[in-house]
Amino acid sequence: MKTLRILLIAMGFLYGASDLGLASENNNNHVTFKVTDVPGYWYDTGVDIAGTRSLAIVTPGTSIDFLQNINGTPVAEARHTVTSLLWPSNAKSGELIDQDAANQDNHHVTLKTPGLYVYVCKLHPYMLGAVIVDNGNTPGLDIGKQLTLLGVTKEGTLTFDSASDLALRLLRAFFIVTNPSNWKDYTKANLPYPHNIYQPTYPNVPVRVYSGGSLVGTDDNLPKLGDAIIAQGYDGKVIPAQQKPSINGVGEVWVDTQFELTNVKPDKFPGTISVVEVDATTNNWEVKRKIALPQQNMNNGHNMWPSHNQKQVYQTEWHGKSLFVLERATGKFLQEIEVGHDPAHVMTRVDTQQVHTGLNGEDGVMELNRNPVTGLLTKNRVISMQDPAHPTKPTQPHAHWMGHDGATMATPNANTGDSSLFDFDEDKVVSKLPTGALSIAVGMMPNSSFYYVSNYLGHDLSVVNMNTLPPSRFGDNISVLLGYDPSTGSTTGTVNDPPCTATLLGGHPCLIGGLPIQTPVSPDGKFVITGNTLGGTITILDTTTNKVVKVLACDPGCHGVNFGAKSGSLQNPNGGYYAYVTSKFANRLIVLDYDPNGDGKADDAVIAGWVLLANKTAPNDDRTTGNLGQGGQGVLPIPLVYNGWVQKLPTEWCTKLSASQRTPFPGTTDPASCLH
Ligand SMILES: [Cu+2]
C-alpha cells in the first residue's frame, strides 16, 4: 500500500514539475546545471523533479550549460570535470563532453539526439547529472534504443539495450544518488511496518525503451519507469535493526561520514568524522564522537591515516585544498595545512614517518615531514606521478598505497587509466602501466610483492608484479562483474550462493560487483576485499588464485574498506581481522568477519554486525542537522594493523594485539614485532 502511495506522489511531482520545467526550458531552449560540492545536488538545476534536482527534460536542440564559475568566482571549492558517462548509442561525438584535466571552467553542449544522457565528475564519481532529450512527437519519454556507458571492460565498451537490467540498475542508482531522501536510513529500522521498509521513490512515467531493436509495449501501453525498477526486486525489504558483533574489535574506528550536514558549517562544506568505539567497553559499537571542523570549513572530509604512535590522525578534504591534523584521543583540531587541489587519500611512510596525500585535482602527491616532538606537518615537495620519459596529461591520483618498508608508493591515476610506482631509493617513477578506465584505488601485498588496482569504470582489478625489473602487469584484469549479462541481469559466476535467477521481470537480483572502489589487501596477504558501488556489494578475492571467491550484499554506494584487529575467540584464538565497510548512501558501518574460523578461506564470510552512524547525542564540535550519518567513505581502524606499520605501535596499543596480529607476515620487516 505504502509503495503505491509513494509512487502516486512521485508521479504527481513529476508531472507537475516536469511540465513546468519543460515549459520554461522550451521557451529558452536552454538548461543550466550548477556544479557544486553540496551532497546529492552536485549537478543542480534548482528545479525539483520527483525528488531530484539533477535531471532536466528537454526538447531536441536544447543547449546545456554546466556552470562552475560565475564571472570568474568558483561555484564550488573543488575542481571537477563534466564528463559524459552514459548516452544514447546513436548520439553524435559533438554531443559528448569531457576535459583533459580537472578544472573550474564553464562547459556547454547542445543535445539533438533523443535519449538519456548522464554526466559524471571523474574525480568524484558520485556526482551525477542527467538530461533526457525527448522528441515530443511520440508518447513516453525517449530513453534511446541502446545506451553506451563510458569505460572499457575486457569485453569492450558497454553498449546495451535501453530495456535491460543494466539500464534499470543505472537509473535506480541515479534516482538514489541525486535524492538524499532516497538514501538508506538505518534509523528507520525502529519504526513500525511499513515505515521500516527501504523503498526509494522513482518517477513512474511511461518510457520508450527498446529490447533487441523493438519498442517495449505500444504507444498506448508503454512500461512505466518506477514500476520497472521496482519489479527488479532490489528494494522493498525491511531495514534491519542494529546488530552488534558478538566478538569485540580492538580500539576504535574512524569513519568519514562525508555527506553529513551540521549546524554552523554551510551545506557547501559538508562532512563529519564519526568515531566508533569497537573495544570491550560498555558503549562499544556506538559512535562516541563527531568532528565537523566548523571553524576550518572542512569540505567533504574523505580519508584518514594515523601517526605511528596513534596520537594524531591526518584527515583530507576531498572537495577542498587542506590536510588536517587532529589529536586522536580527544578529536581536537591541531593543524590545517593547504596542500593542493582535492586531496583524496593519505598514508604515512613506515621508515620516515612522512605523510603522503594524493592531489586528485592535480598531477602529483604532496609529501610532508612530521615534527617528532609536536606531531605537526610541514610541506616537503610534490612528487609528480608522470613517467619522466613519457609525460601525459595530469594523472589525478586518488587512493595510493605505500610499501610495507617505506620504499615504494603506488598510485591509481584516475585521469590517465594507469598506475605509477614510485621508488623512494631511486627517487623516481619506475613504472607507469596501463590498468583500466578510471583507476581509483590501490591495495598492496604485505611484502610489497604485488599490488592491486581497482578500475572504477573498467569494473575490474589489475595486478602489478613489483618483483620484475621494471615492474610489470601480472595476468589479465580480474572482472568484478562475475559474468554479469547486462541484458538479463544473470551471472555466470558461481559465487552467488544460493544461485540467483534474475530475469528482466521477476526473479531475485544477482549480486554483482561493478564500479569498484577501495580494495585493500588483508594484513596477512590472503584476501583483497573490494567495495562495489554499482552492485552495492562487497567482493572477496583470494590472492593465491586471484579469483573472486565470495560476494556479499552491502548498501547503496558501497565504498570504503579497511582492516582492523578482531579480539580472540574460542573459534579463532589468534583474533584475526574484521573488514570495516562504509557506503556513501547509507548510514551504517558494516563489520565483515571474512574468515570467522581463521582457516584462511572466506567461504564462511559473514556480516557480523553493524553500527548506526547517525548519532545526535555524541559529543561534537558542531551539531548534526541533516543527511545523518550518511556519506560513508574513508574508514580507519585504530590501532593500525598493516605489516610494517603494526610493528611501530607503542606498547599500550601493541599489547592489545595477539602474537599473530603483531607479526602478520613473518620475516618481512625489522623490527619483527612491536613488543620490544
Ligand atoms: Cu568532482
Please tell me the predicted confidence (pLDDT) of residue 9: 36
Residue 529 or residue 500, greater confidence: 529
Measure 118 CA to ligand 1 centroid, in angstroms.
Answer: 15
Q: C-alpha cell of 386?
A: 608522470
Please tell me the predicted confidence (pLDDT) of residue 463: 98
Distance between CA atoms of residues 402 and 292, nearest Å:
28
Measure 646 CA to ligand 1 centroid, in angstroms.
Answer: 34
Distance between CA atoms of residues 278 and 245, nearest Å:
9
Measure 101 CA to ligand 1 centroid, in angstroms.
Answer: 11
Please tell me the predicted confidence (pLDDT) of residue 573: 86
Measure 31 CA to ligand 1 centroid, in angstroms.
Answer: 20
Please tell me the predicted confidence (pLDDT) of residue 507: 63
- Residue type at 603 in one-letter notation: D
> How many helices (H) and strands (E) in the chain?
5, 48
Please tell me the predicted confidence (pLDDT) of residue 389: 87
Measure 56 CA to ligand 1 centroid, in angstroms.
Answer: 20
Please tell me the predicted confidence (pLDDT) of residue 24: 37
Q: Which pLDDT tens digit goes with each residue over 134-176?
A: 998 999 999 999 999 998 766 567 899 999 999 999 999 999 9
Measure 81 CA to ligand 1 centroid, in angstroms.
Answer: 6
Measure 126 CA to ligand 1 centroid, in angstroms.
Answer: 8
Residues with Cβ within 8 Å of 437's Cβ and at least 6 positions away in sequence, in order, are 150, 151, 152, 417, 455, 456, 457, 458
Measure 34 CA to ligand 1 centroid, in angstroms.
Answer: 12
Measure 127 CA to ligand 1 centroid, in angstroms.
Answer: 7
The stretch 522-541 carries a mean pLDDT of: 96
For the whole model, what pTM was predicted? Answer: 0.94
Q: Cα–Cα–Cα angle for 120, 124, 127, nearest 5°?
A: 45
Please tell me the predicted confidence (pLDDT) of residue 266: 97
Please tell me the predicted confidence (pLDDT) of residue 650: 97
Measure 222 CA to ligand 1 centroid, in angstroms.
Answer: 36
Measure 554 CA to ligand 1 centroid, in angstroms.
Answer: 24
Measure 116 CA to ligand 1 centroid, in angstroms.
Answer: 21
Measure 120 CA to ligand 1 centroid, in angstroms.
Answer: 8
Confidence bin at 670 (pLDDT 50/70/90): confident
Measure 378 CA to ligand 1 centroid, in angstroms.
Answer: 27
Poorest-pLDDT segment among 233-247, 257-271, 469-483, 504-518: 504-518
Measure 123 CA to ligand 1 centroid, in angstroms.
Answer: 5
Please tell me the predicted confidence (pLDDT) of residue 510: 86
Please tell me the predicted confidence (pLDDT) of residue 506: 59
Measure 39 CA to ligand 1 centroid, in angstroms.
Answer: 11
Measure 1 CA to ligand 1 centroid, in angstroms.
Answer: 39
Please tell me the predicted confidence (pLDDT) of residue 19: 38
Residues with Cβ within 8 Å of 560's Cβ and at least 6 positions away in sequence, in order, are 255, 256, 517, 518, 531, 580, 581, 582, 632, 633, 634, 635
Measure 121 CA to ligand 1 centroid, in angstroms.
Answer: 5
Measure 438 CA to ligand 1 centroid, in angstroms.
Answer: 13
Q: Which pLDDT tens digit goes with each residue over 369-386?
A: 999 999 999 999 999 999
Asked whether residue 20 carries a pLDDT value surpassing 70, the answer given is: no
The stretch 535-550 carries a mean pLDDT of: 96
Q: Mean pLDDT for the chain?
A: 92
Measure 241 CA to ligand 1 centroid, in angstroms.
Answer: 34
Measure 265 CA to ligand 1 centroid, in angstroms.
Answer: 20
Asked whether residue 497 carries a pLDDT value surpassing 90, the answer given is: no
Please tell me the predicted confidence (pLDDT) of residue 671: 84
Measure 384 CA to ligand 1 centroid, in angstroms.
Answer: 21
Please tell me the predicted confidence (pLDDT) of residue 5: 31
Confidence bin at 21 (pLDDT 50/70/90): very low
Of 394, 532, 530, 367, the C-alpha closest to 463 is 530
Measure 80 CA to ligand 1 centroid, in angstroms.
Answer: 4
Distance between CA atoms of residues 624 and 602, nearest Å:
38
Measure 54 CA to ligand 1 centroid, in angstroms.
Answer: 15
Q: Which pLDDT tens digit goes with each residue over 61-120?
A: 999 999 999 999 999 999 999 999 999 999 999 999 999 999 999 999 999 999 999 999
Share of the chain above pLDDT 90, in %: 85
Q: Which pLDDT tens digit goes with each residue over 317-364?
A: 999 999 999 999 999 999 999 999 999 999 999 999 999 999 999 999
Report the chain's terminal Cα–Cα distance, integer Å: 65
The stretch 434-463 carries a mean pLDDT of: 97
